Structure 1
Amino acid sequence: MADVTIRPATLEDAADLADRLRAADRAEVWASHRVTPIQALETSVRLSCGDAWAGLADGVLVCLWGVVPLSLVSRIGSPWLLASDDLERHQVPFLRRCRGMVDQMQAPYRLLTNHVDARNRLSIRWLRWLGFEIDPAAPWGPDGLPFHRFERRAP
């Protein structure tokens, strides 16, 4: 079992992960916003306002995630996660910790919501496991490809 470390994410982490981003995440960031992996990672880390984390397995960066505040007044946040293929090899130790991390992300927000590419089946399964409700796929993004809106409300 890998030694898993979770720490605050940095822009250097974004640069480290960009070239190793899994194919499904590359396709998703392009289909959703027409951005490259480095643009998606740097923007996500910056907009998360300190609420972004890096996941390492045996000292190797395997994923970045966080939550971007969409509305502080109505307490809505947009969660995100981008990863390398290495995450799948180390999914068990990360799964053991991620529900608690999502609860921590949710704390300041009454609603967490975003969109996931309908082709990204692994992410959709993970989101369901974390307790997110997944809407039916609908056209979204510049090309109107099918994406699922997902959300998780605070208890």
Structure 2
Amino acid sequence: MKIMLSNEQATLDFGARLASLLPEKALIFLNGPLGAGKTTLVRGLLLASGHQGSTKSPTYTLVEPYQLPSKSFYHFDLYRLGDPEELEYIGIRDYLDEKAICLIEWPEKGAGFIPEADLVLNLDYEGQARSIKLEPSDASWCQTVEQSLGY
């Protein structure tokens, strides 16, 4: 399923709609070039889940935790990861074992140390707009997402 996002607000809105569909535990990969809207999408998701502070890309810290009343979120950015083995040092398995939503930007940098995602979101440029392609691991969940998001 491919969705067109005309501007930043549309990306925030998509994240907010997606937030309402997420279970208590999920692994979500965010793919796309720099500036495609990965962190903006995460911001929309977190705002809709009750986060009131800023949302920054964890490019230098690797992970930003968000403990919210309804769910826990961990936002990873592996762009600057030198070696996938570094994920063992930050305790990646502990994060993934928790009842939380783990959102991982640049997941290919952690190949071999992170499992298959429940949902892959591929963001890309479409002229001045953006597109997002959803790839859920479960076909029935794909139908639920399509129907619920109204795209």
The question of a shared fold, defined as TM-score above 0.5 by the shorter chain, is answered with no
The TM tier, using the shorter chain, reads 0.3 to 0.5
Point out which structure has higher relative CO (alpha carbons under 8 A, 6+ apart).
2
Which structure: greater helix fraction? 1
